[in-house]
Structure 1
Amino acid sequence: MKKFDYLRPKSLEEALTLLNQYRERAKLIAGGTDVIVMIKQKQIAPEVLISLQEIQDLKQMKYNGNLRIGSLVTHRMIEKSELIRKEFTALSDAVEVLGSIQIRNVGTIGGNICTAAPSADTVPPLLVLGAQVQLKSLKGERVLPLDQLFLGPGETAIEQGEILTEIFIPKPLPHTGSAYWKHQRRKALDLPILGVAVMLSLDRSNVTCSDLICTSSPISTVLHALEGEEVVCKEVRIALGVAAPTPIRAVKAENLLRGKRLSDELLWEVAEMAAKEAQPRDTIRGEAWYRREMIRVFVKRMAMRCIERVLRPEETIFPERLW
């Protein structure tokens, strides 16, 4: 491994000054779970590593209805947050299946975003939660919607001299549920074959058929009962990981569902449209046709999990027997 200088600035301003000084010769490092691997594999060869670990302001989470997560907040901190588990559940789903506890203890949400891997577990949940990122430089700061950050595999819109400092997630609408599913060969320490995140906001949560949720009733029965009560989807977002060169929103599928009454047939149409919007490729983990089939399956399943989390928020796991 090529030798490099390791710098530990104490403040964001000092880090920005160093980044401006060394420019292309420098690489930022947070938890290091990606950067060190890339250095060892000779994918990158920085002369200087600028560690952000001493900047305590980047390790804070703040909530006032809206959620602000510092870019150095670890996955483990998010996993242990009761607030995130309750209000921003899709993100909690994602960090629980990200790597191992050892990786989650050091890996950061900012690093997971900036690596810009199509397989990044936290990105699809953040997309459906409507996240924005704050970028700071010596010239000032700017806020960018997360879906505008990714340009390609490993490529972002972060400019030379900028540091991602914070992730902003707006307060969910009333009667909102969100969910993420990581489809993988193993239950831990594996990259996803596919990642699917869904966020649904319903027009109400008081329905007489809620007892059907989390019983032995099949999905079609639950949806038929909901259709009879004319439950409407007020807002929806669907995001896919490992389904295109970058994590994507399935916008056409969202438009099919937004403002419509929930039904079994409609959710199948939405899932089918999401599969058509995807641009998967063949890899060692899964072929394109298989990923499309799994999108059809898991978009509907995650929509049902969102519905369950609205109607029966005390339940945390949708019974697999309903699948």
Structure 2
Amino acid sequence: MRYIRPLSMEDAVGQLAGSSGTSAILAGGSDLLVRMKGGFIEPDLIVDIKAIDGLSEIRETPEGFSIGAAVPCAVLGESAALKKAWPGVVEAAKLIGSKQVQGRCTITGNLCNASPAADSVPALVAAGARAVVVGPAGRRTIPVQSVPTGPGKTSLAKGEIIEAILLDKRAPRSGDAYLRFIPRTEMDIAVVSAGVNLTLDEHGVVKSARVALGAVAATVLLVEEAAQVLIGSR
């Protein structure tokens, strides 16, 4: 097994694209290392992306927020601006595992692990988040919901890495939230979860809505019928 710690996306992409065996990306490692220790996977190449410039940063731009692929979930909760703008996304990230796990895990890793019960993904889908994907063919931006294609499977091609998650600047009178149902009180996997994102008009009536459900299908479901029920209500 080879372990490398590239300093650029170009190097990371090149190493992944040129690998002949199985490869894995290490961001937080909260899923990868557990699966390796359990003997479920034995990658020939591990690419640690934490040293790549910008991937461990949250950047606020005129368009919204860019969350680097290596930003730990705990750091999301420390960003006052992000927490104020997208409290539901931060709330979902802070439910992944224990406090110790949150210091390592990332929402990008949670997305690419492609568990139907992933906590951050319904909140990101409801938020209309996008993923910046870098690969041998260049850079592209895709909706978050198009990344997982089934349990443990993604749409990413060989050599492709998610560089960042993008969240738009909030419209006035907007808010989001995330809630999950679990059998126990903490550190459990959702039986069902929901992310909701709403925008109200000046009279307090819902004018746009997105509702996403997790743990009920192979991938997160964006439920248009639920959104239509909310639109027009107070």
- Is the 8 Å Cα contact of residues 126 and 197 (structure 2) preserved in structure 1? yes
Question: What is the match of residue 102 of structure 1?
Answer: 100
Partner of 1:10: 7
**1:144 corresponds to:** 142
| TM superposition shift of 1:23 | 4.6
What is the DSSP-based 3-state SS (H/G/I as helix, E as strand, rest coil) of the residue aligned with 2:187?
coil
Task: Confirm or deny: 8 A CA contact 2:111 2:147 kept in the other structure.
Answer: no
After superposition, where does 1:24-173 map in structure 2 within 5 Å? Answer: 24-65=21-62, 66-173=64-171
Alpha-carbon contact 2:93-2:107 (below 8 Å) kept: no
Whether 1:249 and 2:187 are equivalent positions in the alignment is no
SS of match in other structure, 2:54: helix
Percent identity for Structure 1 against Structure 2: 31
TM-score (norm. length: structure 1) = 0.69
Contact preservation (8 Å) 1:98, 1:188 = no
1:236 partner letter: A
When the two structures are aligned, how many residues end up with a matched partner? Answer: 233
Q: Which has the larger radius of gyration?
A: 1
Write the deviation string for residues 55-87 of structure 1: whole angstroms up to 9, x where unpaired.
Answer: 132111111241111111110110111112211
- Mind listing any 5+ residue stretches in structure 2 that lack a counterpart? none
SS at match of 1:14: helix
Q: Report the residue type matching 1:237 in the other structure.
A: R
Structure 1 residue runs without a partner (length 5+): 206-230, 263-323
Given residue 247 of structure 1, which amino acid in structure 2 is its aligned partner?
V
Residue type of the partner of 2:233?
R
1:190-224 alpha-carbon deviations (Å, 9 max, x no partner): 2222211111111126xxxxxxxxxxxxxxxxxxx
1: CA distance between counterparts of 2:193 and 2:20? 34
Tell me which amino acid in the other structure corresponds to 2:217: A
| Matched-pair contact (CA < 8 Å) for 1:23–1:161 | no
Supply the distance in 2 between the matched residues of 1:76 and 1:56 (Cα, whole angstroms).
19
Contact 2:21 2:44 in 1 (8 A): no
Distance between the aligned counterparts of 2:163 and 2:115, measured in 1?
A: 19
Task: Please name the residue that 2:233 is paired with.
Answer: 261
SS of alignment partner, residue 59 of structure 1? coil
Q: 1:101 to 1:56 in 2, by over 3 A?
A: farther
Could you tell me which residue of structure 1 aligns to residue 212 of structure 2? 239
Q: Which amino acid aligns with 2:210?
A: R
Q: Read off the aligned partner of 1:256 and give its amino acid letter.
A: V
The structural deviation recorded for 1:24 is 4.1
Change (3 A) 1:23 1:200: farther
| 1:40 Cα deviation from its structure 2 partner | 2.4
Instruction: Quote the offset at 1:29 in angstroms.
Output: 1.3
Counterpart of 2:186 in structure 1 is: 188
- The secondary structure found in structure 1 opposite 2:116 is coil
Q: Hey, what's the Cα distance between the residues in 1 that align with 2:52 and 2:19?
A: 19
RMSD: 1.5
Distance across 1 between alignment mates of 2:222 and 2:193: 12
Q: Deviations over 1:273-313 (max 9, x none)?
A: xxxxxxxxxxxxxxxxxxxxxxxxxxxxxxxxxxxxxxxxx
**Bigger strand share:** 2
Name the structure, 1 or 2, with higher relative contact order (CA <8 Å, separation 6+): 2
More helix per residue: 1 or 2?
1
> What's the secondary structure of 1:99's corresponding residue?
coil
2:145 counterpart SS class: helix
Q: Aligned to 2:156, what secondary structure does the other structure show?
A: coil
